[in-house]
Amino acid sequence: MPVIGYLSATSLDRYTSPLVAAFHHGLTESGFIEGRNVAIEYRWAEGHYDRLPALATELVNLRVAVLFAGGLPAALAAKQVTSTIPVVFVMGADPVKLGVVATLNRPGGNLAGICQLLGALGGKRLEIIRELVPSPAVLAVLSNPKNPNADDHLNEIEVAAQSIGQQIDVIRASSEADIDVAFTSLARHRDSALLVADDPLFSVYRDQIVALAARHRVPTSYYVREFVLAGGLTSYGSSGSENNRASGHLYPLARAAAWPTASFA
């Protein structure tokens, strides 16, 4: 029975479980059911990006038929450890700009997948939070400097902010403790608002971020609706479940000789 390696920078919880279920749904629509005609090995980095290469290597050593990479850090780790096993990814970044693939229509190599381009929607999230808080004394962006796409995400927001004369303060966090410190700093300003940049780490600590935003009364805009389901104020972004379902459809293509000539969605 062929084995799929499922590599994620996040953790398995009540929010990511529907994403895994959506991936299964896509596989089922393509004629593959876990435990019947395909097996799946899961590896979760739980927000620790430095664990991803070792987890990816474990999956490669299991001789998986296809490796699914959830997020940019996971895709980069997969690319680092194998040039032969087909890799299907879902990410919110530009895979061409970051060197994951050669072009969108002809990725080349062994990687292809689904682009959500969540970072490109930073300007829209800025617009939404400004409607809720028209003139915040401090408009901050929570960003993880360990994410290879952090600068691009910040640039999208900064360009949008400059166009309306809004100053941006960047608050950086790459661990659970950093997130606490970030909100303590932000809470010193009475009239403030926050944008949370797209990052798997922040998805892992979703409940903590939402709780801190509520405790400190900081209006916050997020990148996916799972934050709102956890009690957050507002979000704007594509459907993670739909993107994961679509990635399940790529499994039979990934095993075909034509891979990875499939176009991106």
Are residue 84 and residue 124 in the same domain, yes or no? no
> CA quadruple 227, 203, 99, 194: dihedral positive or negative?
positive
Give the tokens for residue 31.
């004629």
Are residue 212 and residue 249 in the same domain, yes or no? no
pLDDT in tens, 130-149: 888 888 877 899 999 998 88
Are residue 13 and residue 31 in the same domain, yes or no? yes
State which residues form the domain around 81: 3-117+240-254
pLDDT above 90: residue 60: yes
| pLDDT band, residue 258 (cuts 50/70/90) | low
Residue 261 lies in a domain: no
Q: What is the pTM of this model?
A: 0.83
pLDDT in tens, 7-30: 999 988 877 888 899 999 999 999
Are residue 25 and residue 101 in the same domain, yes or no? yes
pLDDT of residue 265: 43
Are residue 61 and residue 111 in the same domain, yes or no? yes
User: Helix 206-215 and helix 176-186: axis angle, to 10°?
Assistant: 20
CATH number, residue 221:
3.40.50.2300
Give the tokens for residue 87.
């890799």
Residue 91 lies in a domain: yes
Residue 208 to residue 47: CA distance in whole angstroms: 14
Residue 29 lies in a domain: yes
Residue 257 to residue 255: CA distance in whole angstroms: 7
Residue 262 lies in a domain: no
What DSSP character marks residue 264?
P
The answer for residues whose C-beta is within 8 angstroms of residue 76's C-beta and 6 or more apart is: 52, 98, 100, 148
Residue 260 lies in a domain: no
Are residue 90 and residue 129 in the same domain, yes or no? no
Are residue 102 and residue 195 in the same domain, yes or no? no
According to DSSP H, which parts of the chain are helical?
17-29, 52-61, 72-81, 122-132, 150-163, 176-186, 200-204, 206-215, 226-229, 240-249, 251-254
Residue 89 to residue 68: CA distance in whole angstroms: 6
Residue 170 lies in a domain: yes
Residue 222 lies in a domain: yes
Are residue 82 and residue 54 in the same domain, yes or no? yes
Residue with tokens 């299907």: 88
How many folded domains does the chain comprise?
2
Helix (H) or strand (E) segment spanning residue 7? strand 3-8
Average pLDDT of the segment spanning 39-67: 95
pLDDT of residue 264: 44
Are residue 226 and residue 247 in the same domain, yes or no? no
| pLDDT band, residue 242 (cuts 50/70/90) | confident
User: Which amino acid does the sequence have at 186?
Assistant: L
Are residue 33 and residue 61 in the same domain, yes or no? yes
Residue 62 lies in a domain: yes
Q: What is the DSSP string of 206-242?
A: HHHHHHHHHHTT--EEESSTHHHHTT-SEE----HHH
pLDDT above 90: residue 167: no
pLDDT above 70: residue 263: no
Are residue 199 and residue 174 in the same domain, yes or no? yes
pLDDT above 90: residue 53: yes
Average pLDDT of the segment spanning 163-173: 90
Are residue 150 and residue 223 in the same domain, yes or no? yes
Give residue 260's Cα distance to chain centre.
Answer: 21
Residue 75 to residue 9: CA distance in whole angstroms: 9
pLDDT in tens, 180-223: 999 988 877 766 899 999 898 999 999 999 999 999 999 999 99
